[in-house]
Amino acid sequence: MLRPLLLLLCLPFVLAAETVIDPARDRAIPVETHLPTDTNPCSKAAPCPVALLSAGYGVSHTDYHFLVKTLNRAGYLVITVGHELATDPPLSVEGNLYETRAENWQRGADTLVFIHDYFKPKFTTFDFEHILLIGHSNGGDISAWLINHGAKFVNQIITLDHRRVPLPRSLDVKVLSIRASDFPADKGVLPSRTEKHKYQDCVVTIATAKHNDMTDEGPSWLTDKIAQILADHLAGIPCLENEKANDQ
């Protein structure tokens, strides 16, 4: 009888689970907002950081608590965003995927812009001008797409094994990409060795990790490893130490 209670105690605090409406697109967007562990340091003069978390295709935005907890402990307000609705066309699996999936990525990018604008006035002690985007798989593609198409309020991106949209090449956007080992990314998605050095990007591959396991449903050894890489990154530990710690 204690097991459900212990699980509940381990989950991050959900300030609100709601569906917000984007009137311009008549689109219902499911979200959860999670406050950081300690909100005392947050003020208008010294706002606390914000992360927008985008799920992988076919995965609920509520299935990434291991990421939410890590971000909350690092002081982040986390807003998890559900991008896929039953009325949306299915994600393309044929042709040039960079072209055939562009509609999906642009729709997701528009959703993130709306969520940014919607919640900014509601959380005045949080920094919505220097946001972290984090996404798994297609959620990472959406995040990279938004930055590559001119978002000015993003200064960090973290992806979990996204595979289609090139990461930004910019000194203004800090990059971490945590990779599984069962599928390669498309050509040009990840920075070259020269680009990683130039832009100080971090790419960490976890041996034996599987793409579809990078959620709460994955094995604990994997979610724990991802959480540790994320925590180290947020703490400013150099990428080389992350890679060494994970036998890269």
Question: What is the separation of C-alpha 196 from the centre of its chain, rounded to a whole number of angstroms?
Answer: 20
Question: Counting runs of H as helices and runs of E as strands, what totals does the chain give?
Answer: 8, 8
Rounded CA separation 16/27 (Å): 19
Can you tell me the mean pLDDT for 91-100? 95
Whether residue 245 is predicted with pLDDT greater than 60 in this model: the reply is no
* Mean per-residue pLDDT of the chain: 91
Domain at 12-245, CATH from 3.30.300.180, 3.50.50.60, 3.40.50.1820, 1.50.10.10: 3.40.50.1820
Give the helix ranges, DSSP H, for the chain. Answer: 2-10, 65-73, 97-100, 102-119, 138-148, 193-199, 220-234, 239-245
Q: What six digits make up the tokens of 44?
A: 């208008």
Rounded CA separation 109/29 (Å): 13
For tokens 């979610």, name the residue.
Answer: 223
Rounded CA separation 194/32 (Å): 38
The percentage of residues in the chain with a pLDDT greater than 70, rounded to a whole number, is 90
Residues 6-21 pLDDT 10s: 333 445 566 789 999 9
Whether residue 104 is predicted with pLDDT greater than 50 in this model: the reply is yes
Report the pLDDT value the prediction gives residue 78, as an integer from 0 to 100: 98
Report the pLDDT value the prediction gives residue 79, as an integer from 0 to 100: 98
Report the pLDDT value the prediction gives residue 239, as an integer from 0 to 100: 80
Whether residue 95 is predicted with pLDDT greater than 50 in this model: the reply is yes
Burial 182-201 (b: 16+ CB within 10 A, else e): eeebeeebbbeeeebeebeb
Termini Cα distance of the chain: 41
Report the pLDDT value the prediction gives residue 238, as an integer from 0 to 100: 86
Cα dist. 26→8, 17, 42, 64, 104 in Å? 34, 19, 33, 27, 16
Q: How many CB atoms lie within 10 A of CB 25?
A: 12
The percentage of residues in the chain with a pLDDT greater than 90, rounded to a whole number, is 89
Q: What is the value of pTM for the model shown?
A: 0.91
Can you tell me the mean pLDDT for 67-80? 98
Instruction: Choose among 12, 35, 15: nearest CA to 125.
Output: 35
Whether residue 5 is predicted with pLDDT greater than 60 in this model: the reply is no
Angle (nearest 5°) at CA 21 between 139 and 67 = 30
Whether residue 248 is predicted with pLDDT greater than 80 in this model: the reply is no
DSSP 48: B
Residues 148-204 pLDDT 10s: 999 999 999 999 999 999 999 999 999 999 999 999 999 999 999 999 999 999 999
Residues 112-137 pLDDT 10s: 999 999 999 999 999 999 999 999 99
Report the pLDDT value the prediction gives residue 240, as an integer from 0 to 100: 56
Residues 215-225 pLDDT 10s: 999 999 999 99
